[in-house]
Amino acid sequence: MPGWSCLVTGAGGFLGQRIVHLLVQEKDLEEVRVLDKVFRPETREEFFNLQTKTKVTMLEGDILDAQYLRRACQGISVVIHSAAVIDVMGESPRETVMDVNLKGTQKLLEACVQASVPAFIYTSSIEVAGPSSYKEIVVNGNEEEQHENTSFHPYPYSKKMGEKAVLAANGRTLKDGGTLLTCSLRPMYIYGEGSQFLSDTIIKALKNNDILGIVGKFSTANPVYVSNAAWAHILAARGLRDPKKSPNIQGQFYYISDDTPHQSYDDLNYNLSKKWGFHRDSRWVPPLPLLYWLGFLLEVVSFLLRPIYNYQPPFNRHLVTVSNTVFTFSYKKAQRDLGYEPPVSWEEAREKTSEWIGSLVEQHKGTLNTKTQ
């Protein structure tokens, strides 16, 4: 197939960076354009030093700037849209989350039509499927079961509406007369080295005598390692570029998990960090229904204080629900249609993440020692 080019939005993010690293290894990829609102200096340097023949063009711009998006899409063969505001705690205004995650996606789709980009891959989220209630139980769910999150919390709602817009755009006529082909990937909770969430968890634990905070004691999840989630995007790009080979993926969504054992979020954090002397928190945890209603009370307090003080509760109903439910999904459909096999095993993923946690521990303890001197 002739040379091609790819635009990755959210390229400075945890998943976006991995996608770029795998993309530049693709043969015949002439250019990758990496787009984000602002790149951290270390990310900029990392992209600058990529060992590749592929041209890497860095673009800093707003996903809500339609003209900028149209210029960014000019001459592009595939768009991978992983930019999003991920907000479980409700720290960002609802309008911001809806603007970036829904309006930004709609504007990018329109830019693809105007610039005649034939393929569009959307990084969706497991939260599009749910859980809608802490009572919901899904074990090895699949795409045919049609799980849909009925919550109006801005993050899952905006991602759900964004995904609907992407899948509805499949088959749209492009400006040059071609056809737009789209698909959507719904990764599970993504872990691995570079995860901001994991980093925050470890730093909090270091300040708490190496005791890990309680995140989701009642959950059963099947998290996905970051490189495996990124690999699924590469396969989707190949599939949409060669529709004759993979006619089934157009207009479809896929759950992306791997062979990480099903476990609670608390067990995952412990399994990744125990090598460095971290312990589980053995304190009593209220039953799930009580936790849920405590979350509701905290939200009410936050709402009542808003005119005079911006109180951020330690947790809310949405966090209690997503982090304490039995909610696991199979990757069989991605295996069948995309040829997806997770390239990184659980053992390797655990080892790599654990080594990275070790470097965080060293770095943080070094900072603490400097402060005490």
Q: Which of 340, 339, 185 is nearest to 254 (CA)?
A: 185
For tokens 């139980």, the residue is 137
CB 174 within 8 A of CB 113: yes
The SS3 of residue 191 is strand
Residue 318, SS3?
A: helix
The answer to whether the beta carbons of residues 60 and 36 sit under 8 Å apart is: yes
Give how far Cα 290 sits from Cα of 256, 285, 286, 296, 326, Å: 32, 10, 6, 10, 17
> How far is residue 74's CA from residue 290's CA, in Å, rounded to a whole number?
53
* Active-site position among 155, 191, 255, 331: 155
* Cα-trace Rg, the chain: 21
Q: In whole angstroms, give the CA distance from residue 322 to residue 309.
A: 27
Longest dimension (CA), the chain: 68
> Using the 8-state DSSP alphabet, how is residue 279 labeled?
B
- Minimal CA–CA distance to 210: which of 222, 201, 218? 201
Taking the C-alpha atoms of residue 348 and residue 354, their distance in angstroms, rounded to an integer, is 10
Provide the residue type at 345 as one letter: S
Which residues have a Cβ under 8 Å from the Cβ of 332 and sit 6 or more positions away?
Answer: 142
- Is 169 in contact with 109 (CB distance < 8 Å)? yes
Distance CA 349, CA 16 (A): 18
User: Which residue do the tokens 């399994």 mark?
Assistant: 271
**Could you confirm whether 255 is annotated as catalytic?**
no
89 φ, ψ to 5°? -90, -5
Q: What do you get for the CA distance between the two ends of the chain, in Å?
A: 61
Residues labelled catalytic: 155
